[in-house]
Amino acid sequence: MLRLLLPLAGLAALLRAANIPQRSFGIDYDSDCFVKDGRPFRYISGSIHYSRVPRYYWRDRLLKMKMAGLDAIQTYVPWNYHEPQLGMYDFSGDKDLEYFLQLANDTGLLVILRAGPYICAEWDMGGLPAWLLEKKSIVLRSSDSDYLAAVEKWMGVLLPKMRPHLYQNGGPIIMVQVENEYGSYFACDYDYLRSLLKLFRQHLGDEVVLFTTDGASRFHLRCGALQGLYATVDFAPGGNVTAAFLAQRGSEPTGPLVNSEFYTGWLDHWGHRHSVVPAQTIAKTLNEILARGANVNLYMFIGGTNFAYWNGANMPYVPQPTSYDYDAPLSEAGDLTEKYFALREVIGMYKQLPEGLIPPTTPKFAYGKVRLQKVGTVVEVLDRLSAAGPVKSTYPLTFVQLKQYFGFVLYRTTLPKNCTEPTQLSSPLNGVHDRAYVSVDGVPQGVLERDKSLMINITGKAGANLDILVENMGRVNFGRYNNDFKGLVSNLTLDQDILVEWEIYPLDIDGAANHDINGHLGQTKRSFGDPLSYEAPTFYTGRLSIPGGIPDLPQDTYVKFPGWTKVQKSRPELGCLELLRKS
């Protein structure tokens, strides 16, 4: 087999000499449209985030999107997902972005890549790595020299991986978004956008279409648009489509009309009802958009799941839950919905739908009840959770200072005086980020929570252990408060006296669970009151058995925790399920 290695320019010349049409994608400003391979082109796209769907299901979801009539998919690249620790990159398994792009290409779907560095996405810190905050004064999303240096290093890793997947190079990527909704950010730093434009061109070349996305108003486009980046807008169903696209025309007098985020539903927040947007409302506005010849991306087409600790939050502080269902056309589990078929019908009015069968909803199986067994409180397994022992500090340290960016940290000090009567423990500067379970010598006292509960009364004897178990519930992903420090970010007071001399335990809960924490509880320390109190933060474990003799198992299922809630009087349990298969 003969292999030839040619520079891209040489390959283009060879194709011209052989009269083989070149792959190209660009903008025809005279005709107000995109041009693909020399012909006018309008795309209908849908958002899927590879980071929110298990790799096992990527092909299924992409095929369902293709069969809905979509030309393209749109996906974000979360920087912190691939570089969780400074200089440590991960593109394997569920993070194998290039494999995802290849699957999209094999399915016949084009790709609109939203490369960041900031993405919002209801994702922790908008995709920015928490380790950036180790420089406390850093100005994120600006021409701050330290921030830009980190961005340049990251893009020097990501973008060269993306270049072979550009459309003109044989891949599926037709457009690449730079930053995200920058017009909604306070900095309005054009030098920052110019630096990104230069950086993207340096790594991706001059042919790829680079674009921005902002809210459909002159206010948002004022700081979000930049010459050299094609400006697009986003807007929801039910509004004035004409007015929205007129806002885009303020920045792009000619060229294609594009709604880069046409919302098929909406995000959820902890403690709020699930957001639902009627299919008929979305179908009506989608029809109006397509009737104008505009390009559209349905955000989301499938929402998926915020696995691990990747959910974001909004201000005033309210975190998003694990589910990112979004009331999208494909459910969180990838199931077909009424909305899927309603939007497919509208799309079919404007283009030929693919022939063939739509992949069915994946089967589910009810495995029955799983009995959870109490195995120990956080304090009882502290040696296992924090093998290196505590970090000692006069005043509390943040998660970033401890280099623990997610999960939980236990802060311990001793009561400096007798509190035989209820005594005020408070966070006067709202410094609990985000939720703290308070106990004295293992006896639960209450919960402190950001913006909600800044003071509780406690009791205990002088010298007793005061434990503050702090939970990071997700960093702010939108607006000016991205620099969201976690932990005890300011001092706590006891009757107005500042508490000092802390022992701080970073907790490796994931590591303990992965190494069977249940097997390490025989030697746990049980020194405080009821050793397995329902009220203390407690580990539970259970076994889900997959029955034998039934074909096509295992299958997907749902886990329901009746009576388990996230409120002050609840049990803040930490659960672990072990899957067993019976032959």
Residues recognised as catalytic? 181, 261
Provide φ and ψ at 232, rounded to 5°.
-120, 170
Both tokens assigned to 493: 């007071």
CA atoms of 393 and 502, how far apart (whole Å): 5
DSSP H or E stretch at residue 214: strand 209-215
Q: Under a CB-based contact definition with an 8 Å cutoff, are residues 440 and 458 in contact?
A: yes
For the residues of 496-557, what is the DSSP string, one character each?
TEEP--EEEEE--HHHHHHT-GGGG-TT----SSSTT-SSS-EEEEEEEEE-SS-TT-S-B-
Both tokens assigned to 154: 């990251």
DSSP H or E stretch at residue 384: helix 382-385
Q: What angle do CA 473, 305, 375 make, to 5 degrees?
A: 60
Helix 241-251 × helix 279-291 angle, to 10°: 50
Answer whether the bond into residue 7 is a cis peptide, omega within 30°: no
For the residues of 409-470, what is the DSSP string, one character each?
EEEEEE-SS-EEEEEEEE-TT--EESEEEEEETTEEEEEEETTTB-EEEEEE-TT-EEEEEE
Nearest to 200 by CA among 231, 147, 158: 158
The CB-based long-range contact list for 437-440 (8 Å cut-off, 24+ gap) reads 437/468, 437/469, 437/471, 437/537, 437/572, 438/466, 438/467, 438/468, 438/469, 439/379, 439/466, 439/467, 439/469, 439/536, 440/415, 440/464, 440/465, 440/466, 440/467
Q: What's the Cα-to-Cα distance from 526 to each of 444, 459, 567, rounded to whole Å?
A: 15, 21, 26
Q: What angle do CA 407, 119, 310 make, to 5 degrees?
A: 20
- How many other CB atoms are found less than 10 A from the CB of residue 80? 25
Cα dihedral angle (155, 157, 163, 164), rounded to 10 degrees? -170
- How many other CB atoms are found less than 10 A from the CB of residue 87? 8
Q: Under a CB-based contact definition with an 8 Å cutoff, are residues 53 and 303 in contact?
A: no
- Specify the amino acid at residue 583: S
CA atoms of 369 and 561, how far apart (whole Å): 10
- Specify the amino acid at residue 164: P
CA atoms of 63 and 28, how far apart (whole Å): 30
User: For residue 110, what are the β-bridge partners?
Assistant: 72
Q: Under a CB-based contact definition with an 8 Å cutoff, are residues 169 and 202 in contact?
A: no
Helix (H, G, I), strand (E, B) or coil at 168: helix
